[in-house]
Amino acid sequence: MFVIVVYDIEGKRVTKIHKYLKKRLHWVQNSVFEGEIKESQYVIMKNDLKKFIKKNKKDMIVIYKFLTKQYFERTLLGKAKNKITNII
Amino acid sequence: MFVIVVYDIEGKRVTKIHKYLKKRLHWVQNSVFEGEIKESQYVIMKNDLKKFIKKNKKDMIVIYKFLTKQYFERTLLGKAKNKITNII
């Protein structure tokens, strides 16, 4: 499956979540990652991501999950931020 | 159709693109918008967005376009950033 993860996390946890996602997905820009992931990895990742959220803060994460890339079109305007190198 | 727009734009143009997208889509967080849009509006929007990109900068915009919301699942962890109010 393919996922897009966008986050808005306060404080030092922003660095931690970036490092966490960098090991699993491709960095698109700022606080946006995307990539192919297995169902089992997705379940683990979703649970891990919940731990980054502090309930008394304005933290939020949105995960868009697709069973296939077949049904969407991705358009890049400008320069890609990062070469695809950080996948485990 | 449904679109997700993520951007990383330098300087004052970041405020301009935020204002532009706020009139057309829902603000998710930081530099991420999403929403339903007509094909004709999408074509206009894509052309408009190109104008925010400065070639000598590291500006970039990614648009994910879906013909239907049927094939993806959206999970929110934490608090939604914004109520859905800013649609024309």
CB A56 within 8 A of CB A11: no
Q: Is B69 on the interface with A (CB under 8 A)?
A: no
Determine the pLDDT at residue B82.
Answer: 63
Tens of pLDDT, residue by residue, chain A (88 residues): 999 999 999 888 999 999 999 999 999 988 999 999 999 999 999 999 999 998 878 899 999 998 877 788 999 999 887 654 444 4
Give the model confidence (pLDDT) of B31-54 as tens digits. Answer: 999 999 999 999 999 999 999 998
Give pTM, 2 decimals. Answer: 0.87
CA closest to B74 among chain A residues: A64
Query: CA torsion sign, A6 to A70 to B17 to A22?
Result: positive
Q: What is the mean pLDDT of chain B?
A: 88
Q: What are phi and psi of A83, to 5 degrees?
A: -75, 155
CA closest to A80 among chain B residues: B60
- The answer, yes or no, to whether ipTM is higher than 0.85 is no
Contact A64 B4 (CB under 8 A): yes
Determine the pLDDT at residue A86.
Answer: 42
Q: Is B8 on the interface with A (CB under 8 A)?
A: yes
Sheet holding A72-78, edge to edge: A72-78, B60-66, B2-8, B32-36, B26-29
Contact B65 A73 (CB under 8 A): yes
Strongest mean pLDDT among A60-64, B55-59, B83-87: A60-64
Contact B31 A29 (CB under 8 A): yes
Determine the pLDDT at residue A83.
Answer: 56
Question: Chain B residues with CB inside 8 Å of A75's CB?
Answer: 46, 62-63, 65
Quickly list H helices, chain B: 13-22, 39-50
